A and B are shown apart, each in its own frame.
Chain A
Amino acid sequence: MKSNTKGRLFAFTGTTVAIVSFAFLAIEPAQARKPFTQDELAAQYKDLMATVKEGDDLWHSAKLGKNGLACANCHPDAAASNPHTFPKWQANLGQVIPLRDMINWCIQVPLEGQALDANSKEMKALEAYAFYMHRGFKLKPGENTKQHPPVEVRSGAGYP
Chain B
Amino acid sequence: MTDFSKMNRREFLGITGKAGLATLVASAAGVSFGMVQVAEAAGNSRLTPFRFAILTDAHLYDIPDHKFDGILKKAVDDVNNMNPLPDFVVYLGDIGQSGKRTELEKGKRILSKLKVPLKVIPGEHDWYLDMGQAWRDLFGGPTWSFDHKGVHFIGMNSILVRDFWTMKGLTPDERMGFMEELECHHCGLWGVREEQLEWLKKDVKKLKPDTPVVVFTHSPLWDYYPRWNFQTEDAPQIREILSGFERVMAFHGHVHQVVYNRIGNLSSVGTLSTSWPWPYPGVELPFPDIKMNRVDPGDILDGLGTQYIDLEKEFAGALHYDTWADLLPEGVKKGVKL
Chain A: residues with CB nearer than 8 A to chain B?
Answer: 60, 67-69, 72-77, 79-80, 91-92, 105-106, 109-110, 145-147, 149-158
Question: Which of B72-80, B151-159, B275-283 is near enough to bind chain A?
Answer: B275-283
Q: Are B181 and A75 in contact (CB under 8 A)?
A: no
Q: Which residues of B contact A109 (CB under 8 A)?
A: 297-298
Q: Are B282 and A110 in contact (CB under 8 A)?
A: no
Besides the known contacts A74-B297, A76-B228, A79-B282, 5 further A-B residue pairs in the complex with CB atoms under 8 A apart? A72-B183, A76-B181, A76-B183, A80-B279, A110-B297
Q: Are A147 and B279 in contact (CB under 8 A)?
A: yes
Q: Are B294 and A147 in contact (CB under 8 A)?
A: yes
7 interchain residue pairs of minimum CB distance: A149-B282, A92-B298, A80-B279, A76-B182, A68-B61, A79-B279, A76-B183
Chain B: residues with CB nearer than 8 A to chain A?
Answer: 61, 63, 66-67, 97, 181-183, 185, 227-228, 275-283, 294-298, 300
Q: Are B227 and A67 in contact (CB under 8 A)?
A: no
Q: Are A92 and B277 in contact (CB under 8 A)?
A: no
With beta carbons under 8 angstroms apart, the residue of B97, B278, B295, B300 that contacts A76 is: B278
With beta carbons under 8 angstroms apart, the residue of A72, A79, A146 that contacts B181 is: A72
CB < 8 Å A-B pair total:
69
A109 to B280, CA, bound (A): 23
Q: Which residues of B contact A149 (CB under 8 A)?
A: 279-282
Q: Are B296 and A91 in contact (CB under 8 A)?
A: yes
In the complex, which residue of chain B has the Cβ closest to the Cβ of A82?
B279
Q: Are A92 and B297 in contact (CB under 8 A)?
A: yes
Q: Which residues of A contact B296 (CB under 8 A)?
A: 91-92
In the complex, which residue of chain B has the Cβ closest to the Cβ of A66?
B63
**What are 8 A-B contacts with C-beta separation under 8 Å?**
A68-B63, A68-B97, A77-B228, A109-B297, A110-B276, A147-B280, A147-B294, A151-B282
User: Interface on chain B toward A: helix, strand, loop, or mixed SS?
Assistant: loop
User: Interface on chain A toward B: helix, strand, loop, or mixed SS?
Assistant: loop
Query: Known contacts being A67-B66, A92-B298, is A156 close to B282, with CB within 8 Å?
Result: no
Q: Which residues of A contact B181 (CB under 8 A)?
A: 60, 72, 76
In the complex, which residue of chain B has the Cβ closest to the Cβ of A105?
B297
A67 to B278, CA, bound (A): 18
In the complex, which residue of chain A has the Cβ closest to the Cβ of B177?
A60
Q: Which residues of B contact A147 (CB under 8 A)?
A: 279-280, 294-295
Q: Are B97 and A72 in contact (CB under 8 A)?
A: no
Q: Are A67 and B61 in contact (CB under 8 A)?
A: yes
Determine how close the nearest CB of chain B comes to the CB of A65; give it in whole angstroms.
Answer: 11
In the complex, which residue of chain B has the Cβ closest to the Cβ of A60?
B181
Q: Are B276 and A73 in contact (CB under 8 A)?
A: yes
Q: Are B227 and A145 in contact (CB under 8 A)?
A: no
A60 to B275, CA, bound (A): 17
With beta carbons under 8 angstroms apart, the residue of A67, A79, A80, A146 that contacts B67 is: A67
Query: Known contacts being A68-B66, A72-B182, is A79 close to B298, with CB within 8 Å?
Result: no
Q: Are B185 and A155 in contact (CB under 8 A)?
A: yes
In the complex, which residue of chain B has the Cβ closest to the Cβ of A92?
B298
A156 to B186, CA, bound (A): 8
A73 to B181, CA, bound (A): 8
Query: Known contacts being A149-B281, A156-B185, is A77 close to B294, with CB within 8 Å?
Result: no
Query: Known contacts being A74-B277, A92-B297, A149-B281, is A67 close to B63, with CB within 8 Å?
Result: yes
Determine how close the nearest CB of chain A comes to the CB of B153; give it in whole angstroms.
Answer: 31
In the complex, which residue of chain B has the Cβ closest to the Cβ of A149?
B282
A145 to B294, CA, bound (A): 8
Query: Known contacts being A76-B278, A92-B297, is A153 close to B227, with CB within 8 Å?
Result: yes
In the complex, which residue of chain B has the Cβ closest to the Cβ of A74?
B276
Q: Are A153 and B294 in contact (CB under 8 A)?
A: no
Q: Are B183 and A153 in contact (CB under 8 A)?
A: yes
A147 to B291, CA, bound (A): 13
Q: Are A152 and B61 in contact (CB under 8 A)?
A: no
In the complex, which residue of chain B has the Cβ closest to the Cβ of A156?
B185
Residue among B66, B182, B279, B281 with the most chain A CB within 10 A? B279
Q: Which residues of A contact B277 (CB under 8 A)?
A: 74
A43 to B295, CA, bound (A): 40
Q: Are B282 and A152 in contact (CB under 8 A)?
A: yes
A67 to B61, CA, bound (A): 8
Q: Which residues of B contact A76 (CB under 8 A)?
A: 181-183, 228, 278-279
Determine how close the nearest CB of chain B comes to the CB of A79; give it in whole angstroms.
Answer: 4
